[in-house]
């Protein structure tokens, strides 16, 4: 079953159109990567799906249109956005940040279990549960941002540049954990990533954006075999 179907999506900042024609299709439980140079429209694509920027075209989630919904309404449908820059609360502790992610939920016992799951997925956060967000390293903040999204029990997670600014070994750790999350939970994922080598460890397929349009879409295996992808994204 198709979980998310984006077709002919456009997006605007004020009067400036930054997305011209974007299509994306994600099966339930699937993971799709979005690649592209700076300014190609990757972040805006995620923001348009989550209702943070004005968009045109069609966005359907679980068969229903997301047209005109506010970000909180999109989140309530089951889409969790882990934004670029992470967006964790620096004056709340790790545990409090995780609880914020679950604010819509009434199942207190499972919320507790999910906090334990997040701390098991990201053991680095275990010694930090009482630390303020501001005391965390960049890697720990990224882990916390993903944890907060997990706490909403979404069906789809939008991940924006989860490796940005992290040391290579930390970025690998984060992607390994996301892979495990995917296996454990079956959450579908849209993964925006500059580091295509990392993205390809996680996604089944990917699309390349240029100036607000898809220019190439294929399975991970197909894309890895293409010279232009190797040259532009895989360093060789
Ligand atoms: P990056 O990797 O640099 O984040 P991206 O592919 O995610 O790149 P977007 O951030 O989606 O690209 O930006 C797409 C275009 O929209 C760019 O030309 C950018 O300058 C423009 N843009 C982004 N945010 C705004 C904004 N708030 N107001 C006006 N224009 C914006």
pLDDT, one tens digit per residue, over 124-166 is 999 888 888 888 999 999 999 999 999 999 999 999 999 999 9
Do the domain assignments include residue 126?
A: no
CB contact at 8 A, 22 and 9: yes
Do the domain assignments include residue 198?
A: yes
Q: What is the pLDDT of residue 132?
A: 86
Which atom of ligand 1 is nearest to 40's Cα?
A: 6
Residue 223, domain CATH: 3.40.50.300
Do the domain assignments include residue 139?
A: no
Q: What is the pLDDT of residue 236?
A: 63
For residue 133, give both structure tokens.
Answer: 């967000």
Distance 39 CA to ligand 1 centre (A): 5
Rounded CA-CA distance 156/31 in Å is: 9
Pocket of ligand 1 (CB under 6 A): 13, 16, 18, 36, 38-44
Structural domain range at position 23: 2-90+155-233
Q: What is the pLDDT of residue 77?
A: 97
Do the domain assignments include residue 55?
A: yes
Rounded CA-CA distance 178/183 in Å is: 9
89 pLDDT band (50/70/90 cuts)? confident
Alpha-carbon radius of gyration of the chain: 17
DSSP string covering 11-72, please? EEETTEEEEEEEEEEEETT-EEEEEE-TTSSHHHHHHHHTTSSEEEEEEEETTEE-TT--HH
Substitution candidate for ligand 1 out of 39, 55, 85 with most atoms within 8 A of CB = 39
- Residue 231 burial class via C-beta count within 10 angstroms: exposed 0-12, middle 13-18, buried 19 and up: exposed
Per-residue pLDDT tens for 14-59? 999 999 999 999 999 999 999 999 999 999 999 999 999 999 999 9
Do the domain assignments include residue 200?
A: yes
Which atom of ligand 1 is nearest to 212's Cα?
A: 14
Do the domain assignments include residue 191?
A: yes
**Which residue owns the Cα nearest ligand 1 atom 18?**
39
Do the domain assignments include residue 132?
A: no
Per-residue pLDDT tens for 170-224? 999 999 999 999 999 999 999 999 999 999 999 999 999 999 999 999 999 999 9
Q: Is 5 helix (H, G, I), strand (E, B) or coil?
A: strand
Q: What is the pLDDT of residue 39?
A: 94
Substitution candidate for ligand 1 out of 41, 54, 199 with most atoms within 8 A of CB = 41
Q: How many folded domains does the chain comprise?
A: 1
How many other CB atoms are there within 10 angstroms of residue 15's CB atom?
Answer: 5
Distance 44 CA to ligand 1 centre (A): 6
Q: What is the pLDDT of residue 215?
A: 95
What is the CA 144 to chain-centroid distance, rounded? 13
Rounded CA-CA distance 32/165 in Å is: 22
For residue 18, give both structure tokens.
Answer: 């930054």
Substitution candidate for ligand 1 out of 14, 40, 206, 211 with most atoms within 8 A of CB = 40
Do the domain assignments include residue 85?
A: yes
Which atom of ligand 1 is nearest to 44's Cα?
A: 11
Query: What is this structure's pTM?
Result: 0.95
Edge to edge, what strands does the sheet with 213-219 contain?
64-65, 54-61, 2-13, 16-27, 213-219, 205-210, 31-36, 188-192, 156-160, 79-82
- φ and ψ at residue 168, rounded to 5 degrees: -55, -40
């Amino acid at each position: 079953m198709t979980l998310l179907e984006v077709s002919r999506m456009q997006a605007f900042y004020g009067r400036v159109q930054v997305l011209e024609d974007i299509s994306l299709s994600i099966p339930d439980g699937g993971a799709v990567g979005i690649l592209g140079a700076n300014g190609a429209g990757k972040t805006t694509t995620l923001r348009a799906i989550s209702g943070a920027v004005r968009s045109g075209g069609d966005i359907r989630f679980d068969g229903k249109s997301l047209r005109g919904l506010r970000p909180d309404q999109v989140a309530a449908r089951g889409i969790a956005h882990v934004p670029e820059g992470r967006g964790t609360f620096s004056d709340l502790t790790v545990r409090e940040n995780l609880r914020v992610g679950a604010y819509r939920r009434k199942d207190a016992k499972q919320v507790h279990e999910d906090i334990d799951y997040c701390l098991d997925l990201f053991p680095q956060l275990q010694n930090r549960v009482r630390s303020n967000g501001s005391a965390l390293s960049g890697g720990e903040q990224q882990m916390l941002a993903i944890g907060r999204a997990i706490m909403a029990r979404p069906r789809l997670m939008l991940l924006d540049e989860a490796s940005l600014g992290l040391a290579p070994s930390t970025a690998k750790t984060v992607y390994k954990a996301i892979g495990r999350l995917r296996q454990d939970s079956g959450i579908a994922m849209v993964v925006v990533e500059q580091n295509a080598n990392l993205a390809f460890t996680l996604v089944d397929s990917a699309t390349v954006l240029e100036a607000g349009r898809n220019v190439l879409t294929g399975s991970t295996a197909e894309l890895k075999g293409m010279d232009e992808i190797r040259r532009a994204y895989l360093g060789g």
